[in-house]
């Protein structure tokens, strides 16, 4: 892939408690136009879910989120993750992600963290927690002095404010969960999720 940030305007952030939901959920998201799917490592079945999607939904670009240790980097890639996302970063974690052979988005929330990553040759990052860390106003402030940095803001973003983020020149995509309502997953209402994904895929205001 040329850039994870350019695959779709929205990256669904998926938390799965039942691995049986992984494939039908991924199929619904892909059918709705959201091929990049971040499965967070917050539940015991996360790695199995990544493996199931990688094997069962070839059109999906499945990745691992909430990656915070080098061991999780190895496990995620072994399970079939095609990208990695972390809520923050250290040099140890960054080295592991860089050596993984797949694209990665280290998390930042301050100007100094952005500068430190640029110094290390990383230009694409996750901005987290987006709303709590300053939202669109903060990202606008970064665009002037640090135009070479591009972001995928995540945290507190929904259908109402996603377009505001996507209008910014230094935002490639946003991460969110609003197209995956818990009640729809519980009911197996994949048609509803596909419809919400299609709406999310149409949010990009440019290009």
Q: Is the dihedral of CA 56, 60, 61, 67 positive or negative?
A: negative
Inter-axis angle of helices 46-56 and 22-31, to 10 degrees?
50
Looking at 71, 113, 124, 126, which residue is catalytic? 126
Nearest partner of 157 among 190, 131, 123, 125, judged by Cα:
131
Nearest one of 24, 50, 5, 8 to 193, comparing CA atoms: 24
**Could you give the CA distance from residue 143 to residue 116 in angstroms, rounded to a whole number?**
16
**Annotated active-site residue in 38, 119, 164, 167:** 38
Q: Please indicate whether residue 38 is annotated as part of the active site.
A: yes
Q: Name the β-bridge partners of 126.
A: 107, 152
Go through 171-190 and write b for each residue having 16 or more CB atoms within 10 A of its CB, e for each that does not.
Answer: bbbbbbbbbbeeebbeeeeb
Q: Give the DSSP letter of residue 20.
A: G
Is 74 one of the catalytic residues?
Answer: no
User: Which residues are designated catalytic?
Assistant: 38, 126
């Amino acid at each position: 892939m040329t850039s994870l940030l350019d695959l779709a305007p929205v990256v669904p952030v998926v938390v799965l408690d039942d691995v049986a939901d992984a494939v039908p959920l991924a199929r619904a998201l892909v059918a709705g136009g959201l091929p990049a799917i971040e499965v967070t490592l917050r539940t015991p079945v996360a790695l199995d879910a990544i493996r199931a999607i990688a094997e069962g939904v070839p059109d999906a670009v499945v990745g691992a989120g909430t990656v915070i240790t080098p061991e999780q980097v190895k496990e995620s890639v072994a399970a079939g993750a095609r990208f990695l996302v972390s809520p923050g970063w250290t040099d140890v974690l960054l080295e592991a992600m860089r050596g993984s052979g797949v694209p990665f988005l280290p998390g930042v929330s301050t100007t100094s963290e952005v500068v430190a990553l640029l110094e290390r040759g990383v230009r694409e990052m996750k901005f987290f927690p987006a709303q709590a860390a300053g939202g669109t106003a903060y990202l606008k402030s970064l665009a002037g002095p640090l135009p070479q940095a591009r972001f995928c803001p995540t945290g507190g973003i929904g259908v109402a404010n996603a377009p505001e983020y996507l209008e910014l020149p230094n935002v490639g995509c946003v991460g969110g969960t609003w197209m995956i309502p818990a009640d729809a997953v519980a009911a197996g209402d994949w048609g509803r999720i596909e419809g919400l994904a299609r709406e999310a895929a149409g949010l990009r205001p440019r290009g």
